[in-house]
């Protein structure tokens, strides 16, 4: 049998702890298996520094008991009772299936410490005859050999005489996040413990870049495009975006295919921001960012290139909306507060009656969305609007709680969304009348294929409860919910933690929400342009207000 070097017995010293809770757990371990064990043995254990396994076979098994810094070399042979042997055999059977190579050194040391290094006092030897002792040692030795054959090759045994490096620990941190939070407990049909073992054995992690590459490869094995790794800079950018402030040029961008070609267009510039001051207007087409062609670039990548350090410069190549002329401008980035809501009012006529229509554009769900939307509704109500249009085209989502609270503004009662995980339906979010702002006025919701995630939760709730008419084109179809987790080095991960269904119990993932009626692609995504399509019959995007509130 291969001998283990002392260096392989212990985890890094930053794992050492002597918390009172661990001491209590140590006592629990002894008294669980040998209630009459002399007190001096338990007291000697509590004086040792203690630490945990990297993982565990079972929370109730011996792998969760604590291991002494010097090994449990002073335990009496009297722990070899009949009940203890039965428990040990059950524990070994369980661990054969679950323990992996990173835990093997500690497991071996634990067994050796408890069962091979007793003091062999004369009184203890008399209690166990030679036949029973040989049988028990043979059982333990056989189990150890089986474990070695099962999960430890010779080359890995040589390599695990290490203490885990900082890079290894960051990788394991990311692995644990997926293990605990990921919605699919089959992990795309693979053994998640085996993946950890193989990655620590084969993946290079000698630098932070290599560790990040190993984490990305691990996440890619899940085949889930929404579970992704974020470097520290991208993670901070994501957090600042949901908090309502970013450092950039003050542009809301989206994709538009009305010309027959998928183009990255300006949806709306932030009032007073660098782009607005330079004359960028809704509908301008962005062709390149800092000389990099945007063709094939995702919205996330485009947003990342537009953002950057405060006072840094970025160059945009634009195709002007009006005269269709190319121009290149340089903008200086600055901290911009994102206002997710813009609004306007339209004077329209329906069946010979003139009335005011309130147009509200909701571009994202962040910490400012709820307050801003409520303010917009109340201000439009003050000027006498009789109906509302909520435009969530190219709204790719955001904070889940914000979507729930905004749905409650329009619904006085009814289910908003069903949340499910690997075990089935977990939560039901409903409106109980609290938070209602406008539950009776006619409402139309504009969607397109850029409407995704939290936006689809809102659209599905309003449609299935027959609170609004949905117009436009089928939505993106993202029926999964992600949570964001920060790692110890400042990087982070967006992890799919649940699935959702609409109130009609429809899974929209990869399908989307179909609209009640289509709308022309050319309808602008700003209040002034939208109102012009309703008020002027000569424009290309003109359509009748009757379409907005006609039930299918």
pLDDT range class, residue 148, cuts 50, 70, 90: low
The stretch 185-191 carries a mean pLDDT of 94
Residue 464 has pLDDT above 80, yes or no: yes
Of 202-216, 281-295, 337-351, which one has max mean pLDDT? 202-216
Tokens representing 510? 């990869």
Residue 345 has pLDDT above 70, yes or no: yes
Report pLDDT for 86: 55
Answer yes or no: 453 catalytic.
yes
The stretch 488-509 carries a mean pLDDT of 94
The stretch 431-444 carries a mean pLDDT of 93
Residue 11 has pLDDT above 80, yes or no: no
Report pLDDT for 68: 38
**Rounded to an integer, what distance in angstroms lies between the CA atom of residue 157 and that of residue 1?**
12
pLDDT range class, residue 469, cuts 50, 70, 90: very high
Task: Give the CA count within 13 Å in the CB-facing half-sphere of 391.
Answer: 25
**Rounded to an integer, what distance in angstroms lies between the CA atom of residue 155 and that of residue 152?**
8
462-466-470 Cα angle (round to 5): 60
Which of residues 257 and 234 earns the better pLDDT score?
234
Report pLDDT for 138: 63
Report the mean per-residue pLDDT for the chain.
Answer: 75
**Rounded to an integer, what distance in angstroms lies between the CA atom of residue 474 and that of residue 392?**
12
In sequence order, the β-bridge partners of residue 444 are 389, 469
Active-site residue identified among 67, 408, 463, 478: 478
Active-site residue identified among 151, 369, 396, 453: 453
Residue 88 has pLDDT above 60, yes or no: no
In sequence order, the β-bridge partners of residue 335 are 247
Residue with tokens 């899974």: 507
**Rounded to an integer, what distance in angstroms lies between the CA atom of residue 288 and that of residue 317?**
5
**Rounded to an integer, what distance in angstroms lies between the CA atom of residue 107 and that of residue 39?**
25
The stretch 183-210 carries a mean pLDDT of 94
Which of 549, 543, 482 shows the shortest CA–CA distance to 178?
482
- Axis-axis angle for helices 104-115, 130-151 (nearest 10): 180
Q: Torsions phi, psi of 425, nearest 5? A: -65, 125
- pLDDT single digits (tens) 533-546: 888 888 888 888 88
Report pLDDT for 373: 96
Residue 74 has pLDDT above 50, yes or no: no
**Rounded to an integer, what distance in angstroms lies between the CA atom of residue 542 and that of residue 388?**
18
**Rounded to an integer, what distance in angstroms lies between the CA atom of residue 460 and that of residue 470?**
9
pLDDT range class, residue 521, cuts 50, 70, 90: low
Residue 309 has pLDDT above 50, yes or no: yes
Q: Residues with Cβ < 8 Å from 473, sequence gap 6 or more?
A: 447, 448, 449, 515, 518, 519, 521
CB 369 within 8 A of CB 406: yes
pLDDT range class, residue 212, cuts 50, 70, 90: very high
**Rounded to an integer, what distance in angstroms lies between the CA atom of residue 389 and that of residue 81?**
76
In sequence order, the β-bridge partners of residue 427 are 419
The stretch 230-254 carries a mean pLDDT of 78
Three-state secondary structure call for residue 78: helix
**Rounded to an integer, what distance in angstroms lies between the CA atom of residue 337 and that of residue 205?**
39
Answer yes or no: 478 catalytic.
yes
Report pTM.
0.63
Q: Residues with Cβ < 8 Å from 336, sequence gap 6 or more?
A: 245, 246, 247, 248, 249, 250, 270, 273, 274
Which of residues 19 and 361 earns the better pLDDT score?
361
In sequence order, the β-bridge partners of residue 319 are 285, 326
CB 163 within 8 A of CB 10: yes
Between the alpha carbon of residue 206 and those of residues 64, 203, 209, 212, the distances in Å are 30, 9, 8, 11
CB 177 within 8 A of CB 21: no
H helix intervals, 353-488: 369-382, 400-410, 454-464
pLDDT range class, residue 288, cuts 50, 70, 90: very high
Report pLDDT for 140: 62
Of 100-104, 234-238, 297-301, 387-391, which one has max mean pLDDT? 387-391
Residue 84 has pLDDT above 60, yes or no: no
Residue with tokens 């002494």: 68
């Amino acid at each position: 049998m291969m001998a283990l070097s002392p260096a392989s017995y212990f985890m890094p010293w930053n794992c050492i702890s002597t918390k009172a809770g661990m001491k209590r757990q140590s006592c629990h371990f002894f008294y669980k298996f040998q209630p009459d064990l002399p007190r001096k043995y338990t007291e000697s254990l509590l004086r040792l520094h203690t630490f945990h396994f990297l993982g565990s076979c079972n929370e109730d098994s011996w792998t969760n008991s604590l291991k002494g810094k010097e090994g449990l070399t002073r335990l009496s042979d009297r722990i070899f009772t009949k009940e203890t042997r039965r428990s040990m055999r059950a524990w070994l059977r369980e661990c054969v299936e679950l323990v992996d190579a990173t835990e093997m050194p500690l497991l071996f040391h634990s067994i050796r410490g408890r069962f091979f290094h007793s003091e062999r006092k004369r009184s203890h030897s008399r209690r166990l005859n030679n036949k029973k002792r040989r049988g028990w040692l043979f059982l333990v030795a056989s189990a150890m050999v089986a474990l070695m054959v099962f999960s430890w090759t010779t080359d890995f045994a040589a390599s695990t005489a290490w203490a885990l490096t900082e890079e290894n620990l960051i990788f394991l941190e990311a692995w644990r996040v997926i293990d605990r939070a990921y919605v699919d407990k089959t992990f795309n049909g693979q053994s998640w413990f085996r993946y950890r073992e193989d990655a620590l054995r084969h993946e290079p992690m000698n630098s932070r870049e290599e560790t990040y590459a190993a984490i990305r490869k691990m996440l890619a094995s899940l085949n889930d495009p929404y579970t992704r790794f974020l470097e520290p800079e991208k993670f901070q950018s994501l957090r600042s975006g949901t908090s309502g402030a970013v450092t950039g040029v003050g542009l809301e961008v989206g994709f538009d295919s009305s010309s027959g070609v998928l183009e990255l267009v300006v949806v709306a510039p932030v009032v007073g921001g660098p782009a607005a001051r330079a004359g960028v207007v809704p509908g301008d087409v962005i062709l390149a960012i800092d000389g990099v062609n945007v063709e094939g670039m995702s919205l996330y990548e485009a947003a990342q290139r537009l953002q950057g350090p405060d006072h840094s410069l970025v160059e945009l190549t634009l195709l002007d909306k009006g005269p269709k002329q190319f121009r290149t401008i340089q903008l200086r980035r600055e901290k911009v507060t994102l206002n997710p809501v813009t609004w306007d009012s339209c004077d329209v006529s329906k069946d010979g009656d003139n009335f005011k229509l309130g147009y509200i554009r909701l571009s994202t769900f962040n910490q400012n969305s709820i307050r801003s939307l409520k303010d917009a509704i109340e201000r439009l109500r003050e000027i006498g609007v009789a109906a509302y249009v909520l435009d969530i085209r190219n709204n790719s989502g955001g904070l889940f709680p914000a979507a729930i609270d905004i749905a409650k503004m329009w619904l006085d009662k009814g289910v908003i969304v069903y949340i499910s995980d690997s075990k089935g339906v977990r939560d039901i979010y409903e409106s109980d009348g609290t938070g209602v702002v406008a539950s009776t006025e006619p409402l139309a919701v504009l969607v397109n294929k850029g409407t995704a995630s939290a936006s689809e939760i809102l659209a599905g709730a309003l449609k299935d409860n027959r609170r609004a008419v949905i117009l436009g084109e089928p939505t993106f179809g993202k029926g999964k919910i992600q949570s964001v987790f920060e790692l110890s080095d400042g990087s982070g991960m967006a992890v799919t933690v649940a699935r959702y269904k609409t109130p009609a119990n429809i899974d929209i993932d990869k399908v989307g929400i179909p609209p009640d009626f289509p709308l022309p692609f050319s309808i602008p995504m700003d209040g002034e342009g939208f109102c012009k399509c309703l008020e002027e019959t000569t424009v290309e995007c003109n359509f009748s207000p009757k379409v907005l509130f006609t039930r299918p």
